[in-house]
Structure 1
Amino acid sequence: MALLDYPIPELDVTLQEAGRVLQLTLSPELYPQFKNTLSQQREVLQEAQKCLAAAASGRENWVTEQFKSRLLSCTDPLPTSTAIPAVLPPSRARKECAQLERAAALLWAVAKMYSEPSLVEGEGQTERTQQSEVFAASRIPGKTQDEIKVYQDCLHAIVICARGVFSVNILQHPSPGGPMSPLPFPDIYSQVVHVMSQHRAAKNNKPSAICGLSALQRQAWSAVREEILRAGGAAAASLGLMESAVVALSLEDCNAPADLADTLNAVRLGGGDGPCLRYYDKVVNLVVFKDSTAGMVFEHSALDGMVAGLVAETVWYLSESLTVDLVQANTGSNGSACLNKADSSSPSPLAFPLQGITKTDPKVLP
């Protein structure tokens, strides 16, 4: 669809809004000083307005462009700079919702939303500059500036837990060349159950090997990533699957903290004393704790807080649309009929043999 232009603000409107806010926040002594300075600097402000209008002329969504460019130039580690956490409401449809059941429901909801992007818009169309870079998108580290890369026709998510990193199918093409649609809930659920039935990750399969790297200072991670890609092999292939996934889902082996503020930190940084289970390059991370408390981590350079809130609300609403009877029936089913490959319901851990790679110390999280 055509993108809507972001209008260049009118100076008088901007000053009126600024004055309204400052009148409420400044002391009675300071506000008259503001008004006096404003009248003295009117010509300077008008010249600045002309420069802004000239710079933005003919450019759609110039505000989003500036917003993204500045954040993508930030070299600080993402967990402590641009990661936005959100805690989802508890499930109302399933009061005793188990961890894996809720995880599968959230993955199904993401698949539904990804295949039908209009679901987040409600009755009216919205400008999709940010929405188009939410799912199947990654923040790729660069030497001077990162980039948001979107992967087309992606059908899988990655599930991260103490057992490793797994590629899980969540979408399908019911007919060759046709539109994609979510896999039925039992297919997704059976894969998640299989993941959690595995032994803890072996050395080359530990999730912290790659998740910890994504938490590094961006230029350091960019250098290591280039080494991985140059070396090729299993590590490069696994990294490709992670970067191209629709979404990353982390399954914690601990309950969420009792305090909401602590829960927000656990969603963003990880719970307990276990390994880092967040893949910060992925624009959206889902997190489900052992007690089924769920949250989301958004990469701020791809979307702002309002869009993150709309996405979180829609994902939660869609996950709640799975009825109790449907979930109970599905969780007792093998659900393998609709899978494209015979072994898709038994995903294997991705391997990250990083021997010979010059790794920077990934212990950057507080």
Structure 2
Amino acid sequence: MTVLRDTGIAEPDRRRLRDRVEAEAYVASVCFKHGPPRLTGVELEWTVHHHDDPRRPLDAHHLATALAPYAPRTLVPDSPQLSLPAGSPLTLEPGGQVEISALPQASLAELFDNVATDVEALVELLAAAGLVLGQRGTDPYRAPRRLLETPRYAAMERAFRPIGPHGVTMMCSTAALQVCLDVGEPHTVASRWAAVCSLGPVLVAAFANSPHLGGRPTGWASTRLRSVLAVDPARSGPSAITADPAADWARRVLDTPLLCVRGPGDCWDVPSGTTFADWLAGALPGPPTVDDLAYHVSTMFPPVRPHGYLEVRYLDTQPGTGWTAPVALLAALMSAPATVESVVELCQPVADRWLPAARAGLADRPIAAVAARVLELGIQALPETGLGKEVVESITADLERVLHRAATEGGES
């Protein structure tokens, strides 16, 4: 998890929460930390495959050997868990997907350089063990299978099982590109929140990269997002675009059912439907603490998650260095208040078209029309990101290819 303002590990806060008002105030203040928009972070996830046969199941011991001292403790409990050369921590998702969380930077150019360094190091580690990174937002070869044996992931799988196959798919077969942006000053929070949320369907369609799952086409441009949205709408559905997103998010957090509750044993299951508000009201033994509430927030998976910063979670992972284009585009679109306001105005007609975006991508005509205008706006704003001329030209070329797709695919639907 990228942390924009504090890269240290905080001590658990054991203070007991007294009531809903106190809990909502905590969520609103911690999840929406105000300040000048200065830093950008990025998290990249990939499925992992055998080089000689990408369909072959991944083995936990093999992956642990490949990652060696960089292996997270969810895989190797006594691992030193070293960061990669440029400082990115390495973590794993339940199905063995690898994730690097780059340290946030004020310079987008420095962020790109650091990520390139750490991705190269990760690729070399895996290659030495005959493994490669996947290039899609879903595993196109294998059925979902959980690799990590932790109480959290076991409880998640059991909680999602009654809903259908999308839970285990999201956990074990998806890979996202996540961009982390500062919340902004108090007077700009609502507009920045509206912009990153309303951009979702447009950018999902523009960068959809997961049309296959488990060896077959799915008929969806972003199978990854389809799975996420279908898991548990209270937990994974889009948030409302409101004038007071902090208060709205706080209410949503407290009214979302608990996914698990940490305990001394291996079973962290909780009675189905029990919300955090229910826990505050005495539904579970012992009152919850501030740390329990912070952990509950970590089990929320909406397309945009406020977590002290705005964590944009709706993008599919991109092949190779393709991740730089959507990151630079988002940074450009959020670079100035006037641009942010233009984004909100442009995207408003399609801000709720999450499923059409996931299903059809840029073949959805309304989204394609808006995408063309948004991409043009972003290309004009790219110089504001501070990237060098050559990088801006390269990213502009990438975005112009997306513009061409919007014109051709959107005209055919």
Q: TM (normalized to structure 2)?
A: 0.29
- With CA pairs under 8 Å and 6+ residues apart, which has the higher RCO, 1 or 2? 1
Give the structure with the higher percent helix: 2
Q: TM (normalized to structure 1)?
A: 0.31
